[in-house]
Amino acid sequence: MVQKQVLAPRMIQSMEILQLPILALEERIEQEMEENPVLEMREQDPDLPTDEADYDAPEAPDSPTDEERELVIDESTDNEDDFERLLKMDEEWPDHFEEHTRPSRNRIAEEAERRHDAMANMAARPQSLQDYLHEQLGWFNLDRNLRAMADRIIYNLDPNGYLQSSLEDLIGPDATEDDLALAKQALAVIHRLDPPGVAARDLRECLLLQLTPGMPCYEQLQTLISSHLEDLEHNRLPVIAKRTGYSIEVIQETIGELRKLNPKPGARFNETFVPTVTPDVFVEPAEGGGYNVRLEDGRTPHLFISPYYRRLLASGKANEETREFIKRKFNSAQWLIDSIQQRRNTLTRVAQAIVDHQTEFLTRGPEFIEPLKMQQIADKVGVHVTTVSRAVDDKWIQTPRGIFPLKRFFCGGTVGADGEEVAWDTVRLKLQEIVDHEDKQRPFSDEDLVKELAKHGITVARRTVTKYRKAMDIPSSRQRRDWTATGSRKKSTKPSGDGAKKGGK
C-alpha cells in the first residue's frame, strides 16, 4: 500500500497567494472580483493610517464578525450548517447597507471611468529592436521574397542584436542554393541598417561593420579587430606591436577609438523594459531600538462577502440552481479572504524574523550582513522551509539602506579566525577593498590576497579567492600590473566589459 499526501484545493490556493508579490496579488483580486459576484470590496485611503481609515467605517459589512472569522470551510463536507449560519448573519446587517451593497448605475459608471483612466495613463510599449529595423526596411524597394527573408532574420536576432543562427540553419535543411543566396542578400541589407553592427554573427564582425572610411585609425582598427582581439583582451601590446609594426602609442590610440564602438548594438532597446519594483514590506526603526516591519497592503482592497446576496438567498426568490451556484461562490470568496489574511500573517512573521537577524546590516551597512539560511527562519517562525521560500520569492523590502529583494538577506558564509561565521558578501566587499588599496606597481597575487584576508580574520582557500575575483571582474595581478604600466584602464581592455570574450552574447 502506497501512502501519499494530497493537498486540498484550499491549501494549494493559500500557497499560490503567499507566493504572489503585491502587484500580482492586486491583479488576482481584480480577477476574482470580476468572476465572483458575492465578493465586495472597499478601497482604503492609502494616505490615512489603517486605524484612521477605519474610524468612520461601519462595522459591517467591511469588518467581519466573530462568526465569519470562525467560519471554516471543509470540502469534505457539504458545508450546509456553515452556509445556513452565514445566511442568518443577514439579520445582523442594518438596512442602510442595502444601498451600499446593491450594484447601481453610478457605481458601474465610476468603475468604467476608473478603468478608462487607467488605460489612458498606461505607458506605451517601447519600440523594440525588431520594430526599429522593420521600420527601416520600408526605405528599401525590396521584392516580396527578399523582404520576407529579411523579416525572418530580424525575428531571429538575440537581445544584443546578434544573429546566433547560421544562415543554413535559418533557411532549413531543404533549402536550395538560391535560397541561401537570397538569405545572404537579405543579411547584407540588414547590415546597412541602424544601429551599426546589427545582425553580426560574432563580435569581430559586429565591430568591423561599425567601421567607416575616414574615421580615426581606420586601417589600424581593421587590423586589430581582424587579427588581434585575443591579444587585446590579454593586454599583449608588445606582441601586437611586433606583429603589426605599430608603435605602442599608435596601438593605445587605436584602443581608445575601439572603445567607442558598441559590442552590443541591440542592448539599448532592452533598457526601457526594466520593471518597476514595488516593495511588499517596509522596515521602520522601532522606538526602543531595532526595527519593525509592515506590509504594503494599504492600497489592497478590503474584501468581504456581499450581504446583498445573502438577502437574495434568504428571501427564497432564488431557485435551487442559483442557490447552489451562489453557495460555491460564497465558499470561493471565503477561501480567498482567508488566503490573503494568511499571506499577510506569514509574510509579516517571516520578514520580521529576517530583519531581527540582519539588524547589523540595516544599522551599519552591507559589510555587516550575517550568514543566514532559510531553515533558520523556518525554525524561528515555526513553518516549513518551503513556506519561507514562497514567502520571500519575488518580494522586495524597503529599508533605511535602500530597496532589496528579500532573498538578498539569505547568504552562506565561512568560519573566521575567531570561530564566528562570516558572510560571503562580507568576503567579497573586503576583497574589493584590499585590491583597491594595493600597491599598483606590485599588485597582490591570489595567494597574497588569501594572506591579506587572513589579517582581517577571514580564512578562505586560494581557489575561493580566484573564483570571487573572476566573478567580480577583477583582473589577475599580472594584468593589473601591466595596465598600470601602460596607462590602460584598470579592469578591462574589452570594448564594453564582457563583449570581446563572449561574442556579444
d(CA 43, CA 126): 32
- 64 falls within a domain: no
Asked if omega into 405 is within 30° of 0 (cis), the reply is: no
DSSP type of residue 409? G
Q: What is the pLDDT of residue 372?
A: 82
Q: CA torsion angle for 336, 337, 343, 348 (degrees, to 10)?
A: 170
Instruction: Report CA dihedral (45, 51, 52, 55) to the nearest 10 degrees.
Output: 110
421, 434: one domain: yes
HSE (CB half, 13 Å, CA atoms) of 102?
9
One domain, residues 141 and 130: yes
Q: Is residue 104 part of a domain?
A: no
In a domain, residue 34? The reply is no
| Pairwise CA distance, residues 192 & 181, whole Å | 17
**Residue 487 forms part of a structural domain:** yes
Based on the fold, state whether residues 255 and 287 are members of the same structural domain. Answer: no
Would 194 be classed as within a structural domain? Answer: yes
Alpha carbon distance 202, 500 (integer Å): 9
Q: Are residues 135 and 190 in the same domain?
A: yes
Name residue, grid cell 546589427: 198
Q: Give the total number of structural domains in the chain.
A: 4
Q: Which residue has the higher pLDDT, 188 or 407?
A: 188
Query: Could you tell me the pLDDT band of residue 347, with boundaries at 50, 70 and 90?
Result: very high
Q: Is 101 exposed, middle or buried (0-12, 13-18, 19+ CB in 10 A)?
A: middle
pLDDT tens digits for range 68-122: 343 334 444 444 444 444 444 444 444 434 444 444 445 455 555 555 555 554 5
Return the percentage of the chain with pLDDT > 90, whole number.
20
Establish if 95 belongs to a structural domain. Answer: no
Among 33-47, 217-231, 282-296, top mean pLDDT goes to 217-231
CA distance 187 to 149: 9
Q: What is the CATH number of the domain that holds 462?
A: 1.10.10.60
pLDDT digits (tens, 9 = 90+) for 121-161: 455 567 788 889 988 888 888 888 999 899 989 988 998 99
In whole angstroms, give the CA distance from residue 43 to residue 294.
19
Q: Please identify, among 409, 434, 462, the residue that sits at the C-terminal boundary of a domain.
A: 409
Identify the domain boundary among 385, 409, 433: 409
**d(Cα 222, Cα 450) in Å, to the nearest integer?**
42
Helix (H) or strand (E) holding 260: none
Q: In this structure, are 203 and 220 located in the same domain?
A: no
Nearest to 396 by CA among 293, 281, 276, 297: 281
pLDDT at 69: 40
Task: Read off the CATH number of the domain in which 197 is found.
Answer: 1.10.10
Cβ distance 327 to 37 under 8 Å? no
Give the pLDDT score at 493. 39
For residues 398 and 292, membership in a common domain is answered with yes
Better-predicted residue by pLDDT, 274 or 477: 477
Query: Are residues 421 and 356 part of one domain?
Result: no
Q: Quick one: how far is CA 424 from the chain centroid? A: 22
Given a cut of 70, whether residue 26 has pLDDT beyond it is yes
Summarize the confidence of residues 273-277 as an average pLDDT: 60
Question: Average of pLDDT values for 289-303?
Answer: 79
Domain final position from 210, 225, 251: 210
CA distance from start to end of the chain: 52
Across the chain, how many H-helices and E-strands are there? 26, 8
Per the domain annotation, does 311 fall within a domain? no
pLDDT value of residue 10: 67
Q: pLDDT digits over 448-468, tens only? A: 888 877 777 777 778 877 877
pLDDT score of 478 more than 90: no
Alpha helices in 259-319 (DSSP H): 307-314
pLDDT of residue 352: 94
pTM of the model: 0.48
| Cell numbers given for 266 | 541591440
pLDDT tens digits, 349-390: 999 999 998 888 888 777 677 778 888 899 999 989 889 988
Domain with 447 in it? 413-502
**238 and 135 inside one domain:** no
Reported confidence tier of residue 442, pLDDT bands at 50, 70, 90: confident
| Dist. CA 401–CA 183, nearest whole Å | 53
Res. 52: pLDDT tops 50? no
355 with 440, same domain: the answer is no
Q: Is 418 exposed, middle or buried (0-12, 13-18, 19+ CB in 10 A)?
A: exposed
On average, the pLDDT of the chain sits at: 75
Q: Are residues 234 and 203 in the same domain?
A: no
Do both 358 and 418 map to the same domain?
no
More reliable by pLDDT, 471 or 56: 471
> Is 435 inside any structural domain?
yes
Per-residue pLDDT averaged across 181-188, rounded? 92
187 lies in the same domain as 177: yes
At residue 310 the predicted structure's pLDDT band, cuts being 50, 70 and 90, is: confident
pLDDT of 224 above 90: yes
Q: In this structure, what are the phi and psi dihedrals at residue 381, rounded to the nearest 5 degrees?
A: -80, -25
